[in-house]
Amino acid sequence: MDHKHNDAFPNNFLWGSASAAYQIEGGWNEEGKGPSVWDHFTRIPGNTFKGTNGDVAVDHYHHYKEDVALMAEMGLKAYRFSIAWSRIFPDGNGALNEQGIQFYERLIDELLGHEIEPIVTLYHWDLPQALQDQYGGWESRQIIEDFNRYCVTLFERFKDKVKYWVTLNEQNVFIRLGYEEAKHPPGVTDRKRMYEANHIANLANAKAIASFREIVPDGKIGPSFAYGPAYPYSNDPGDVLAAENAEEYLNGWWLDVYCDGEYPKTIWKYLEQRGLSPTLEEGDTALLKSGKPDFLGVNYYQTGTFAESPLNDVFQSSKENHDGKKGQFKESGIAGLFKRKRNNTLETTDWDWEIDPIGLRIGLRRITSRYRLPVMVTENGLGAFDKLEKNNVVQDDYRIDYIRQHIEQLQAAITDGVDLIGYCTWSFTDLLSWLNGYQKRYGFIYVDRDETDEKDLRRVKKKSFDWYRTVIATNGGNL
Ligand code: BG6
């Protein structure tokens, strides 16, 4: 659809950038913080690229004032960050650690002092290890109460300072990688357990939102979903059906529950026939329906392209590209539902992620049509090898191109009728990529460290820093 003119970005549009506690903070055991499942998981040899962990990360815990000053210099309107649950409750559900909460209070005050809107993510994957040990974390319904208590503590403490909140970051990723593919903690490969844990996470999400309504009636809250819209590989109806299957199985399975409080019928039936559907207890559906979000957070990196897959299809377990050497894509899928193909119309990053700005517009439109909710893009960005040149220069024109093309599609989506409230790039500073070490960089700010050497953790503005500053200053007028 070509428009005669594009609408301008709204005046109060939240031009932002994002991060997550484990990936930036460091200070892993400071000021009373308890260990998280990631502190534990990264210590097991072979789990992460070159054994990297977030013990120091980019030491934001001690550099937060400098980092916020850089955000202010850039003119950032919003900054999305996550709170580490085990800083607030070191053992997950026992005594409150006042020092931990004070760190975030200082950060929030620093942001507000520079007129930067804080967007707080309550859970970005770093579950207190104590809860994993006590009752198996997301596999026990006890977590619904414990997560609620943690969230309510933060709502009450920060309700006058923080308007925008994100509940769970990418539930579809941490549950699938944690319980199906064993690439994230707790390292399980069991689909029945995955669907049970996922259902419990849905209930925890809904309960936290329902509590929020009582405590922060004028605030806005929603989950952030890793949305990869599904495309058919060809116009063969078998491929089109496979793409429908993928859209429901990989996206609707979460989005329908968040937005409507119900699972999609087709996938429910598919899982039920195989003994995989989760246990629905009395009151679950009512709870899910009571926790509808104000907006949907969308983390967008790529689309997926799907072809028909017969029931006797066999897939090798996919080798993932964690070293940035292009060309490691392998077909994966679920026999009888879909198989994922390379989309040869699209370029890829060095980590084989397909680059598809129009896919962002398509995704935002699907959400708008199906759920009629406002959307905030809570993550979008390019992981790339950056080179620190002499005189503190990083020429990341490829990142500028990537973000520009995505912002153009945002504007087209707004013109299509999407109610878009903000855009957070991933990420503000360079940070630890969970499974890919420090060499897969996303930031506007280069942080001088690598996998083996923490160096001086110096902050260096990349070329994209000045470019995004102009985008914000012109409210998207000058791309
Ligand atoms: C999202 C996560 O999945 O993608 C981020 O919310 C993550 O935490 C980002 O860093 C990029 O993924 P990766 O694997 O390149 O670090």
The C-alpha atoms of residue 368 and residue 267 are separated, in whole angstroms, by: 22
Can you list the residues of the chain whose pLDDT is less than 50? Answer: none
CB of 78 within 6 A of ligand 1: the answer is no
Which fold, 21-372+407-422? TIM Barrel (3.20.20)
CA of 109 to the centre of ligand 1 (A): 27
List residues with catalytic annotation: 170, 379
369 preceded by a cis bond (ω within 30 of 0) = no
CA of 433 to the centre of ligand 1 (A): 6
Domain layout of the chain by residue ranges = 21-372+407-422
Closest protein CA for atom 8 of ligand 1: 20
Q: What pLDDT, on the 0 to 100 scale, is given for residue 1?
A: 80
Q: What pLDDT, on the 0 to 100 scale, is given for residue 355?
A: 98
Question: Is the complex ipTM more than 0.95?
Answer: yes
Nearest-atom index, ligand 1, CA of 173:
3
CB of 479 within 6 A of ligand 1: the answer is no
CB of 57 within 6 A of ligand 1: the answer is no
CB of 426 within 6 A of ligand 1: the answer is yes
